[in-house]
Amino acid sequence: MTTTPTPAAPRTPPLTSRLPQVGTTIFTVMSALAQECAAVNLGQGFPDFDGDARLMAAVKQALDAGHNQYPPMAGVPVLREAIAAKIEALYGQRYDVGSEITVTAGATQAILTAVLALVHPGDEVIVLEPCYDSYEPAITLAGATPVRVPLSAGSFRPDFARLAAAITPRTRALIVNTPHNPTGTVWSAAEMAQLAELLRPTDVLLIADEVYEHMVYDGAAHQSVARHPELAARSVLISSFGKTYHVTGWKVGFAAAPAALMAEFRKVHQFNVFTVNSPMQHGLAAYMADPAPYLELPAFYQRKRDLFRAGLAGTPLRLLPCEGTYFQCVDYSGLHADIAALGEADFCRWLTREVGVAAIPLSAFYADGRNQQIARLCFAKRDETLQAALERLQQRLQRLQRRLPVA
């Protein structure tokens, strides 16, 4: 007699995670909590206002013109030419359009691609903490070891003695971010010159995260690696159209690097995303013919920064300096003792639930989750959003200080 075998129960084979320490990010957690509590969300770093209508019209025109199929792997030539012209006009470095500029699916993809292209198993890559949360996973995926060097306590400026001590024969690359997320620090020309001097006798490559390049305040100049020929020669410069033009959901950025580095970058890029959506590229290229939107961006965001800082001055929170980006860090150690005693993640949850304003703990940007009683707030919001948040912070934190119930 023939019997029919009993079907096996469906089974997913076991696996070993490439990123065992990675879970749901604090950004996702805090945004969900903000929605649940009807809080003003100053946590995640994106605007709550639209980009320029002229940019939207340029993209629509590109769609109507039929730019809907695969563009060249490195990006449409007219956009790469616009990028090269902008970098040269602002920073003095001319990148070759054909071999030294690649359009990417956002800056995070560019960072991962640069690391995978240039870093090998067994290498070390230095990151300066606190740092953007994609750096270390990218290094781990490349089979390399992240080496964490803290920025100076309090000022969050580069500590060159510690940086020099961290460089070993295994150091392949250093990731530098200026203007700096999350602290708002902007590197000076003297610090960039000191970096060039430090790296001069080494073969260490530089990955320069410059996504906030047009958000530098009080008359200061962004010190791009493209301003410094020594640094440019060993760097992959990365920036973001999403940040510059208030269209973070488009996920379009770019990388610029010497031809030898870019050739390796493109080898990974072509098997990663291959290319970036065509109509956005054509729309961005047309829009970039007018430099005013990015030239006027420092004043646009400085006004918001100043409005926000003036309002925060009416709270018990202590303001840290904000030289660039659209993030303001605050020290909550001066709050009522039982609140000041909270760790940063717990404080941000408390702030969201009890005050109605969502923030991000600075500890999220450190591997060890250290507590410095600092939270990060985003001011890339409509004035009405900022005013609503400030009213809650002023009224409810002052009530707390007077030991009154938080209404």
Sorted by where each begins, the domain ranges of the chain are 26-45+295-401, 53-290
CATH superfamily of 26-45+295-401: Aspartate Aminotransferase, domain 1 (3.90.1150.10)
| pLDDT of amino acid 1 | 62
Q: Which residues contact 52 (CB under 8 A, 6 or more apart)?
A: 245, 246, 287, 293
Name the token pair of 342: 């909270």
The Cβ-side half-sphere exposure at 121, using a 13 Å CA radius, reads 1
Q: What whole-number percentage of the chain has pLDDT above 90?
A: 92
CATH 3.40.50.2300, applies to 53-290: no
CB 317 within 8 A of CB 330: yes
| pLDDT of amino acid 27 | 87
| pLDDT of amino acid 407 | 45
| pLDDT of amino acid 399 | 87
| pLDDT of amino acid 40 | 97
23 DSSP 8-state letter: -
CB 124 within 8 A of CB 165: no
Domains 26-45+295-401 and 53-290 share a fold: no
| pLDDT of amino acid 24 | 81
Q: Distance between CA 326 and CA 215 in Å, rounded?
A: 7
Cβ atoms within 10 Å of 309's Cβ, excluding its own: 15
Render pLDDT for 132-156 as a digit per residue (tens, 0 to 9). Answer: 999 999 999 999 999 999 999 889 9
> Which residues on adjacent β-strands are paired with residue 125?
146, 173
CA-wise closest residue to 67 among 282, 288, 284: 282
Burial code (b: 16+ CB inside 10 Å, e: under 16) for 59-85 equals: beebeeeebeeebeebbbeebbbbbbb
pTM for the predicted model, two decimal places: 0.95
Name the token pair of 145: 């070891």
| pLDDT of amino acid 197 | 98
> Which residues on adjacent β-strands are paired with residue 176?
208
| pLDDT of amino acid 402 | 76
C-alpha distances out from residue 206 to 32, 37, 133, 203, 248, Å: 36, 42, 18, 10, 25
The Cβ-side half-sphere exposure at 246, using a 13 Å CA radius, reads 19
Render pLDDT for 341-355 as a digit per residue (tens, 0 to 9). Answer: 999 999 999 999 999
Which residues does the chain have with pLDDT short of 50? 406-407
Burial zone of 110 (CB within 10 Å; 0-12 exposed, 13-18 middle, 19+ buried): buried
